[in-house]
Amino acid sequence: MTLEKNTGIKRVLFAARYSYAGLKHCILKEAAFRQEFILALILLPLAVWLDVSKIERILMIVSLFLVMIVELLNTAIEAAIDRIGTERHELSGLAKDVGSAAVLLSLLTCGIIWAGILFF
């Protein structure tokens, strides 16, 4: 018996539905993502409004998306680790700590980009 794979537009529609479900979950249930999302909703219009070069505007906007992307990946790592088991394990802790460090670095990158463009 062969399973039929979704292809073409059907695959794209399924992928979009799964992506929407992931974003919806993170906005409703993940405080860190919700805070970063709200910050992006405030800063995105500001980036468009500011009198900066095209490349600076792109960097400002992309840096906001970078933070949210890394936070989504961190949430996925945490969910996978939690699914594996609730007992404490050194590697589980390491995976979560490294994911958190990635979020921190993305936030620092975003802050440096915005500060560099606005103040230097």
Q: Which residues are catalytic?
A: 71
Q: Rounded CA gap, 72 and 75, in Å?
A: 5
Alpha-carbon torsion (46, 59, 26, 21), positive or negative: positive
Tokens of 17: 């539905």
Total residues found in the chain within this entry: 120
Tokens of 41: 């909703």
Spatial CB neighbours of 60, under 8 Å, sequence gap ≥ 6: 43, 47, 50, 52, 113, 114, 117
Tokens of 22: 């992931």
